[in-house]
Amino acid sequence: MKDFLAFLKSKQFLKHFLIASLSLLFVLWILFKLLSVYTHHGERAEVPDFKGKKISQLDQFIQGKNVRYLIIDSIYDPKQTPGTVIKQDPEPKSEVKHNRMIYLYVTSTQAPQVAMPKLVDKSTRQALFMIESYGFKKGSVTEIAADCKGCVIKQLYKGKEIKPGDPIKKGSKIDLVIGRKEEGYTLPDDNDAPETENDPAED
């Protein structure tokens, strides 16, 4: 035991211990350097502005910019060109690590379908509000003589009546036929057929 303790205090042991410690520190330093190179530690990239770019342009657009992209959702917006980026996360000009994933939202290439609401018997104002709130476009508004003023008589799509609940794409034009009440006008009764006058020849 005394010999072992004496060896630990010897110059030879201290010399080898120092060499081993320095060697270990050097190996660890090399490993950290290699790891930082592999992970691009400390290197930053500026997020490019993807907005307005078409999906077909994205692969070429990110070349040399040290970022990646992923399309995570599509949104229908009739005011935007289909198949283009309208939103991204992180925002443009943000600083991120190299090879950071940028999440993109693009406009849908096809309009979603919704159930046609019932506009008949609504006022013109109500019908126009519902057309806009459902994502449709206002088409033509035609007036016909009716027993009501400003009420919707028919709802039309491409010239044909469309029933409530029928599927129709957002952005479609809806035409309205509304009533125009004239003084003294009443809706005719189908059971009231006009009387035919007797032929004078038969008298």
Reported as a single tens digit per residue, the pLDDT across 70-126 is: 999 988 887 888 899 999 999 999 999 989 999 999 998 888 899 999 999 999 999
| Cα-based distances in Å from 34 to 27, 100, 180 | 11, 20, 82
Residue 60 belongs to some domain of the structure: yes
pLDDT of residue 1 exceeding 50 = yes
Confidence of residue 17 (pLDDT cuts 50, 70, 90): confident
123/103 same-domain check: no
Domain count, the chain: 2
Q: What is the pLDDT of residues 31-62, one digit of tens each?
A: 766 765 555 555 789 999 999 999 999 999 99
Are residues 103 and 127 located together in one domain of the fold?
A: no
Residue with tokens 């060896």: 7
Residue 146: CB atoms within 10 A of its CB come to: 18
Q: Where are the beta strands (DSSP E) in 42-201?
A: 44-46, 67-75, 85-89, 95-97, 100-107, 113-115, 137-145, 152-157, 160-161, 167-169, 173-180
CA 40 to CA 25: how far, in whole Å?
Answer: 22
Is the model's pLDDT at 27 over the cut of 90? Answer: no
Work out the average pLDDT over 131-143: 94
Whether 123 and 168 share a structural domain: yes
Provide the token pair at 91: 């925002």
Q: State pLDDT tens for residues 138-190.
A: 999 999 998 888 999 999 999 999 999 999 998 899 999 999 877 654 544 44
Q: What pLDDT shows up at residue 51?
A: 94
Question: Looking at residue 57, which CATH number applies to its domain?
Answer: 3.30.10.20
The yes-or-no verdict on residue 12 having pLDDT over 80 is no
Same domain, 56 and 91: yes
Domain holding 164, by residue range, is 113-180
